[in-house]
Structure 1
Amino acid sequence: MAGSDALFFLLSSMPVLSWPLFVAGNQRWCTEVIANIKYQCMDQNLSRIPAEIPSTTQQLDLSFNPLLILTPKYFAKFPSLKVLDLTRCSIDVIEDDSFGGLRNLTVLILTGNPLRYLGDRAFYGLLSLRKLSAVDMNLSSLYDLPIENLLVLRELNLRRNNIKSLKIPEFFRNLTSLQILDLHSNKISHIVIEDLNIFKEVNMPNLTIILSNNVINHIEPGTFKDIHIHKLSLRNSFQSNSIMRTCLHGLVGLQVNKLELGSFYSIKPEIKFEDELLDGLCQVEFQEVILICFKDLSNEKHTLFDCLSNASSIRIVNFDLVKLSAIPEFARLSYLELKNCLTVDVSLGKLASWRTLKTLKVTNCFHNTIFISKFYGQVQHVSLDLTHNQMIVNECCSNENLGTSYLRYLNLSFNSGIKITSNFEGLDELLSLDFQYTKIITRIGQIPTFLTLDKLLYLDLSYTSTHFFIQCAFCGLESLQVLKISGNSFERNILSQVFRNLTDLKVLDISNCKIEGMSSSAFSDLKKLQELTISHNKLTVLDPTAYAPLLSLSILDFSCNQLSFFPENALKSLPRLLVNLDISQNPFDCSCTHLSFLQWTQKQKSVLQNIQHMTCFSPSHLNSVKVMNVTISSCYTRFNLTPLAVSVGVLLPAALTMFLVYKCYVQQYFRLVLSRFCMDSREEEDKYDAFVIFSSKDEEWVMTELVEKLERGLPPFRLCLHFRDFIPGIPIATNIIQEGFLKSRKAIVIISDHFMESRWCGFEFELAQSWQFLEGNAGIIVIVLEKVNKSQLRQTLGLHKYLRRNTYLEWKDSRLDQHIFWMRLRKALMDGKPWGARERESL
């Protein structure tokens, strides 16, 4: 017995010496994203900044590490730092001059830190700070932030705090560069005249104030009088029509460029449009108004837009316009956007009929197929965008159809169909034409259709079911700079001289057009072409004579074709200005007969894109091997493989044996520790129903779903959570074993992408399996989150193997799947649960 105790004491003392090696090994605590510039140290359980981070660092992510306290000049080692992320670092004390020395810092993120103390000079020295994020920090007032010295601050994000008053501190006089004050989701309910006096004395015409998701019950009239700001957002800020009507009257005298009212897509709107609802806006001077997510109109409205008549821009999103009957005379309206609205052509015609209107954008509003000719006759605009409306355009396109000769931008993409009945007569001023993903009926590709559009710069015919029969399909487009025709087809699948006379073309996309070959003169006129996408076709060769005229080409995408190699003459003929070349996902022949091509790929790594997807198809022994990993030296000399085989035969088993011995030692060590603790704790009653193993980045799901449903449900289950239940001052490994496994009946493992990236999670999962082996009645319940990366899961060999052999739960979004999920999880936790008096009483 004495010998056993001595052995246990020896082993239990070893973690002090071996733990850093076991956790870190040869790995670094932080990931070097850009050498000497950017470092990622997220969720590494760090209590201080690693010494390995160089002083030249400009971007540092320390989020989700328990830093706890920031002392003076905490980051002084990094004078070049520009971006610092301290999200959820459990910081509760920030002392004076904590950021001293960071004269170049422009972005500071303090989101989710439960501050108890913030020094009056905490932010001194941040002379270049432009963005400060203090989201979810339990702030109760704008006075809690000592930011009077942040003279160039542009964005102050205070979302999800407990701020109850909009009282602007006196030191805001110094923040003349401030552009965004974000108070979304606070507790502001009353706004009085004294709150905004500073903005009446200091002009801030570029300032945006976001008060959305505050429950505002009262705005004192005159509070915003003589205040001039850029934007005011009040989405989901009023709980009833009467409150909204009264509060809008409180905006009297406000001068604002943009005013945003309504709700959010994910929240059921409480405000219902009714007459006189927006009357308070008659005393507000604004240029653009945005109305989002109101309840549908139930009766005809006659005064809804009366107070918007002086607006120059109106955006209406997510509500019903069917029963609008009276539309006022808009004096300055130049921009009108309707998005996700139920509407009909009559109402739309009324809104679109004003001569001042230059831009009309109607998207996803016509949920039933309609004919648009009735509407077209009233349009007098420079820009017309009618995308995603499932429309059939019955007659297109001329000035007679559209009612204007001044149209410059026409977008009819993502609709049901367009019947081309004319050759764009009278539309000489057109600069941009977009028909993508709308089926085109007749004309285009069959006869010269664009002869009158000599000013057109942009043309998108992608996926329009167009078949190009003639070589003069694009005749007349001498000024065209961008042409996109992917997803269509050419006669006999051969690319001929269809692009002739497009001498100003700079961007061409002919991807996914089933092209099998091309004429040597296909690109002969495209001397100004800079970007060519010819991917997802069936080309087997890259003809150097075809690409020789492309003197200005800098980007070439030749991916997903049938190219096996580049002939030597093609390599020499590539455009000299080429900086991006994508030849990935082609079936390359990596045999030594194409040695020059293999050598060329090694030298062009800076030019080649997506090299990770450049793989060999042949010979068979190199199938799926990355082209960059092919050993070129084997093509020069035939090695004598006997000494190599002998060396491998000796060294490989030796290395494998050493690895297995080390792994066995580590596993046996922790099993001995677990077994000793298990013997000591078998007589004790389990304190927890389950120990939850998860990444701290999944904490929100654990708290809002798992803890909410299990600890507050019936019957209740007690969970062990590391951040809540581990004993401070004890090594983490000891807490995991003593407080986690040995005081719990079961273990719940939350598998996610974050879980697979965490060394701690991997360590805990290994211990869980050893614990299950030692404790016959112990159980591991695995939950796989729906969005987990399956390919990464397969790469995690131990975990993938475990999931193949054991039943696990999957979290999904549908309510039915979630109902089944909770039933199965509760059943698994009920297994073996002792029922005492307390549990019976709770039932």
Structure 2
Amino acid sequence: MPGGGVLYPQMFFPLLVLFWSQWRTRGLIPCVEVIPGSIYRCMELNLSGIPPGIPNTTENLDLSFNLLKNLTFNYFSLVPALRFLDLTRCGIQRIEDNAFMGLYNLSVLILTANPIQFLGPRAFHDLMSLQKLIAVETNISRLDSLPIGHLTALQELNLSNNHINSLRLPEYFSQLIALRFMSFQSNKISAISAGDLDGFQSRNLTLVLSKNIIKYIELNSFSGVYFQELSLRGCFETSAHMQTSLQNLSGLHANRLVLGAYRNADRLEDFSKDHLDGLCHMCLQEIALVQISSLYRTDSLSDCLNNIHSVRLVNTDIEQVSPFPENSSIHHLEINNCRLRGVPAESLSSLKELRVLRITKSGRFLTRFAEDFNGPPNLEILDLSENSLVVSFAWSSLMEGLPNLKHLNLSFNSKITFPPECSGVSKLEYLDLRHTNLGNTGALPSFLCLGNLVYLDISHTRIHIVTECSFCGLDNLRVLKMAGNTFEGHELAGNFKNLTKLHILDISSCQVKHVTPVALAHLRDLRELNISHNNLLSLDAEFFMHLRALTTLDLHSNQLATLTEQVLENLPTSLKYLDLSWNLFDCSCVHLVFLRWTKKQKDLLQHVRYMVCHSPVDLKDTHLINFDLSYCQVSKTTVAVSVTTFLVLVLFVVLVYKYYFYLYYMVVLLSRDQVSTEKENIYDAFVIYSSEDQEWVTRELEETLEVGVPRFRLCLYYRDFVPGVSIITNIIKEGFQSSRKVIAVVSPHFLESRWCNFELEVAQSWQLLDSKASLVLVVLEGVDNAVVRQKLGLFRYLRRNTYLVWRDRELNRHMFLRQLKSALLEGKTWTEEELKLMLTN
């Protein structure tokens, strides 16, 4: 009976064939596989059809810049799951009936820059889900030749840069009920007649007619059509043509009307006030005048603009703003990229309904802002960004001149300072000062009267935070962005203690090296913290103690080597996003807890591909997510062997240290045959004795044996040992190896001496190994027999061998000396000089 997990031969072969076919097919695909089985990029491969190997699950296919030429019946049958298809510049000339057959899910089709000469009446059949059709520069000249009446899901149709000369829409356009955007930019439409747009009755449509040279618009041509936006930029050769056309747009309903020219095209000249009078007969929410020259003063504009809710003047030459009538309905005024030198507060003060004022991107021109600014009384949003303002703002004056101001944008200006003096509480809720030099802000409290402020951006404003009261007064602040500034001592201390309601804090690129435990202690509601691009080396264990609501933490591009176990334990449970990429991680095994944690946090950690080891060197650039934990895990056998080896080595060292003399002696014994002939018969006897018995040895041995007849030569350590050589070397080489006999003088001092006991043990072993060697023991008077018994080796030797006993009496001394000389004479060879000396005596 088959068991689970068993692979039988009859199953193995088909699987092998399937694997081989898939591998071979994938190897044949010339395209870039962006997402396997889903997205493929096949640009500029000189393809003439669908490349082999593209899986039938592909949803996104880019075939641009190839040579397809003709799209025939069921051309895309191999990729029925397509949702996005790009056929830009494929040289397509013919699209035959049912070329896109079966592509029921296709939502985006791009046919840009193909010289299409033939479109079959059923060319786009089956594209019932198509939402976006881009046919820019496709040689289309007539709308009725475009077979798209059945594409009821179509939302965007872009037919720019074609040869269409009439805007009259075919009847089938009434079926395109989802259509919201249509572009005929850069075609050949020169006239618009009544009835051309009947297919778009009551639609909220964006229609782009820019860059068509329109010479005539029939009255009521746009009547009954509701546009989200109508763009007529670059459509009129002269201001007179524009004036006539606008008068005939009477009855137009549009949320936004865009008029003007383009930067690289001839702009309208001799602009006068009556050119825009036709706007009075339209229902508009917003008018945008773009790239109109000769417009130096706002009083050159038609009074009809005062009936429009929003007015945008973009890329004009306006140098002066004239007073507006008090009954103006303008709520939103934008003057973008103009030549104003100062903010025209007095001229705008008459706009009682003005809520939003944007004067931006004036570059080096706009530098002044009146300190006693007294502007529109109901102004709520003031945007003066991207200018060159150099001004000192007094909050009290600003509150008096703009009492209802809630949103102030002064970003990307030259230099702005805020005196600390303040009275009252401003209604300001949003303040953007990024990339503007803020002078002394940071050394003094500058926001004391902004108690209602919710959003503050002071990023890259050259602030150096010195005082802990830099943000005093901002008790309701929810968002603080201050990237690119610095803190005193490169340390976060108690700078944010009063920002108890803060939700988002960005202190990236602030050169911070350390965050004290109390720095964030009061930010209990903090949700997002960005502290990236700093110089943090480590995190304090109490870093997260009070951040229990934190969901996003960005620590990338610091110098963190690891997160300690205590820091990991203190991470908020609410945390959903943690970025630790581009740090200097130490992948040593001492950080195994952190390394193991990273492998378990794939959902929490962001940009894990940039979390790599910085050290040790052999692991540099290893991805933490791929770190092999077994590198730090040693098997029990390896541990046992290592411990055993270590203990053996320790034991060996201890034994070597303790028995160094004996080991050295063993080495000498093993090599004695090589040196015995060189040292033979230098001494008659090597005397072993304690230094305490030096007097006795001199008197009883040295003076009697070396002076009398026969004369014997003794080896005495104090006299015959070679200076500068170790004691053990002298004992072995100068003592035992150079002497025929060994005399051991056993005394109470001898028994207590470690060296004497070692020499006696060596002498006994020497006697066993060398048959010619002999040991003569001399026991002095007064030696305690009980002590001798404790010396087991000596006691046994005395029991088994004859020894001499010296007593301090004349007769005993005479017998001792006669017996000692007899022992020394045994085996002695006489030299010629010694024989002559004996005969003479």
Common topology (TM > 0.5)? yes
2:373 aligned to which of 370, 373, 376: 376
Partner of 1:360: 357
Compute the displacement of 1:64 (Å).
2.4
Partner of 2:561: 564
Instruction: Please give the alpha-carbon distance, in whole angstroms, between the structure 1 residues aligned to 2:120 and 2:454.
Output: 58
Given residue 153 of structure 2, which amino acid in structure 1 is its aligned partner?
Answer: V
Instruction: Please give the alpha-carbon distance, in whole angstroms, between the structure 1 residues aligned to 2:523 and 2:247.
Output: 61
Compute the displacement of 1:270 (Å).
4.0
Given residue 203 of structure 1, which amino acid in structure 2 is its aligned partner?
Answer: S
Deviations 1:140-163 (A, max 9, x none): 021121111111221110011111
User: How do 1:707-726 residues align onto structure 2 when only pairs under 5 Å count?
Assistant: none
Compute the displacement of 1:77 (Å).
5.1
Structure 2 residue matching 1:193: 3-state secondary structure: coil
Given residue 377 of structure 1, which amino acid in structure 2 is its aligned partner?
Answer: N
Partner of 2:84: 83
Compute the displacement of 1:192 (Å).
2.2
Q: Over the residues paired in the alignment, what is the CA RMSD in angstroms?
A: 3.0
- The answer to whether the Cα contact below 8 Å between 1:133 and 1:156 also exists between their aligned partners in 2 is yes
- Name which of structure 1's ranges 414-423 and 366-375 shifts more when overlaid on structure 2: 366-375
Compute the displacement of 1:313 (Å).
0.1
- The answer to whether the Cα contact below 8 Å between 2:222 and 2:252 also exists between their aligned partners in 1 is yes
User: How do 1:382-401 residues align onto structure 2 when only pairs under 5 Å count?
Assistant: 382-398=380-396, 400=398
- Name which of structure 1's ranges 34-43 and 532-541 shifts more when overlaid on structure 2: 34-43
Partner of 2:647: none
Partner of 2:550: 553
Instruction: Please give the alpha-carbon distance, in whole angstroms, between the structure 2 residues aligned to 1:29 and 1:128.
Output: 29
- Name which of structure 1's ranges 574-583 and 542-551 shifts more when overlaid on structure 2: 574-583
Deviations 1:746-779 (A, max 9, x none): xxxxxxxxxxxxxxxxxxxxxxxxxxxxxxxxxx
Does 1:609 find its partner at 2:606? yes
Instruction: Please give the alpha-carbon distance, in whole angstroms, between the structure 2 residues aligned to 1:352 and 1:106.
Output: 51
Given residue 182 of structure 2, which amino acid in structure 1 is its aligned partner?
Answer: L
Partner of 1:407: 405
**Greater relative contact order structure (CA < 8 Å, 6+ sep):** 1
Given residue 234 of structure 1, which amino acid in structure 2 is its aligned partner?
Answer: L
Given residue 583 of structure 2, which amino acid in structure 1 is its aligned partner?
Answer: N
Compute the displacement of 1:538 (Å).
1.8
Partner of 2:103: 102
What TM-score, normalized to structure 1? 0.68
User: How do 1:137-176 residues align onto structure 2 when only pairs under 5 Å count?
Assistant: 137-176=138-177
Distance change >3 Å, CA 425–CA 39, structure 1 → 2: farther
Does 1:434 find its partner at 2:432? yes
Partner of 2:674: none
Partner of 2:486: 489
2:331 aligned to which of 331, 334, 341: 334
Given residue 105 of structure 2, which amino acid in structure 1 is its aligned partner?
Answer: N
Given residue 44 of structure 2, which amino acid in structure 1 is its aligned partner?
Answer: D
Structure 1 residue matching 2:542: 3-state secondary structure: helix
Given residue 498 of structure 1, which amino acid in structure 2 is its aligned partner?
Answer: N
Structure 2 residue matching 1:575: 3-state secondary structure: coil
Partner of 1:795: none
Structure 1 residue matching 2:605: 3-state secondary structure: coil
Distance change >3 Å, CA 232–CA 369, structure 1 → 2: closer
Given residue 84 of structure 1, which amino acid in structure 2 is its aligned partner?
Answer: L
Structure 2 residue matching 1:459: 3-state secondary structure: strand
Instruction: Please give the alpha-carbon distance, in whole angstroms, between the structure 2 residues aligned to 1:365 and 1:426.
Output: 33
User: How do 1:151-300 residues align onto structure 2 when only pairs under 5 Å count?
Assistant: 151-199=152-200, 202-204=201-203, 206-297=204-295
- The answer to whether the Cα contact below 8 Å between 1:134 and 1:157 also exists between their aligned partners in 2 is yes
Distance change >3 Å, CA 164–CA 627, structure 1 → 2: same
Distance change >3 Å, CA 393–CA 24, structure 1 → 2: farther
Structure 2 residue matching 1:257: 3-state secondary structure: strand
Given residue 112 of structure 2, which amino acid in structure 1 is its aligned partner?
Answer: T
Given residue 32 of structure 2, which amino acid in structure 1 is its aligned partner?
Answer: T
- The answer to whether the Cα contact below 8 Å between 1:366 and 1:391 also exists between their aligned partners in 2 is no
- The answer to whether the Cα contact below 8 Å between 1:153 and 1:175 also exists between their aligned partners in 2 is yes
Deviations 1:213-264 (A, max 9, x none): 1122222233223433221101111222222222222322212111101122
Partner of 1:805: none
- The answer to whether the Cα contact below 8 Å between 2:341 and 2:367 also exists between their aligned partners in 1 is no
- The answer to whether the Cα contact below 8 Å between 2:345 and 2:375 also exists between their aligned partners in 1 is no
Partner of 1:471: 468
Structure 2 residue matching 1:440: 3-state secondary structure: coil
User: How do 1:648-667 residues align onto structure 2 when only pairs under 5 Å count?
Assistant: none
User: How do 1:442-453 residues align onto structure 2 when only pairs under 5 Å count?
Assistant: 442=440, 444=442, 446-447=444-445, 449-453=446-450
- The answer to whether the Cα contact below 8 Å between 1:158 and 1:182 also exists between their aligned partners in 2 is yes
Distance change >3 Å, CA 324–CA 506, structure 1 → 2: closer
Structure 2 residue matching 1:242: 3-state secondary structure: helix
Instruction: Please give the alpha-carbon distance, in whole angstroms, between the structure 2 residues aligned to 1:366 and 1:83.
Output: 42
Compute the displacement of 1:626 (Å).
4.7
- The answer to whether the Cα contact below 8 Å between 1:369 and 1:392 also exists between their aligned partners in 2 is no
- The answer to whether the Cα contact below 8 Å between 2:340 and 2:365 also exists between their aligned partners in 1 is no
Q: Who wins on radius of gyration, i.e. which is larger?
A: 2
- The answer to whether the Cα contact below 8 Å between 1:590 and 1:616 also exists between their aligned partners in 2 is yes
Given residue 511 of structure 1, which amino acid in structure 2 is its aligned partner?
Answer: S
Structure 2 residue matching 1:309: 3-state secondary structure: helix
Given residue 410 of structure 1, which amino acid in structure 2 is its aligned partner?
Answer: L
Compute the displacement of 1:499 (Å).
2.0
- The answer to whether the Cα contact below 8 Å between 1:297 and 1:323 also exists between their aligned partners in 2 is no
Compute the displacement of 1:136 (Å).
0.9
- The answer to whether the Cα contact below 8 Å between 2:444 and 2:470 also exists between their aligned partners in 1 is yes
Instruction: Please give the alpha-carbon distance, in whole angstroms, between the structure 2 residues aligned to 1:402 and 1:379.
Output: 11
Aligned length: 615
User: How do 1:102-121 residues align onto structure 2 when only pairs under 5 Å count?
Assistant: 102-121=103-122
Instruction: Please give the alpha-carbon distance, in whole angstroms, between the structure 2 residues aligned to 1:397 and 1:47.
Output: 69
User: How do 1:495-506 residues align onto structure 2 when only pairs under 5 Å count?
Assistant: 495-506=492-503
User: How do 1:722-741 residues align onto structure 2 when only pairs under 5 Å count?
Assistant: none
Instruction: Please give the alpha-carbon distance, in whole angstroms, between the structure 2 residues aligned to 1:446 and 1:76.
Output: 71
Deviations 1:773-794 (A, max 9, x none): xxxxxxxxxxxxxxxxxxxxxx
Instruction: Please give the alpha-carbon distance, in whole angstroms, between the structure 2 residues aligned to 1:324 and 1:497.
Output: 47
- The answer to whether the Cα contact below 8 Å between 2:417 and 2:440 also exists between their aligned partners in 1 is yes
Partner of 1:806: none
Compute the displacement of 1:94 (Å).
1.7
Partner of 2:587: 590
Compute the displacement of 1:547 (Å).
1.7
Structure 2 residue matching 1:244: 3-state secondary structure: helix
Alignment identity in percent? 42
- The answer to whether the Cα contact below 8 Å between 2:28 and 2:53 also exists between their aligned partners in 1 is no
User: How do 1:294-313 residues align onto structure 2 when only pairs under 5 Å count?
Assistant: 294-297=292-295, 302-313=299-310
Given residue 304 of structure 1, which amino acid in structure 2 is its aligned partner?
Answer: L
- The answer to whether the Cα contact below 8 Å between 2:529 and 2:554 also exists between their aligned partners in 1 is yes
Question: Structure 2: 5+ residue runs without aligned partners?
Answer: 1-23, 639-841
- The answer to whether the Cα contact below 8 Å between 1:419 and 1:441 also exists between their aligned partners in 2 is yes
Does 1:538 find its partner at 2:535? yes
Distance change >3 Å, CA 325–CA 533, structure 1 → 2: closer
Deviations 1:557-605 (A, max 9, x none): 2122221222232233323333332222322223333333333334434
Distance change >3 Å, CA 457–CA 554, structure 1 → 2: same
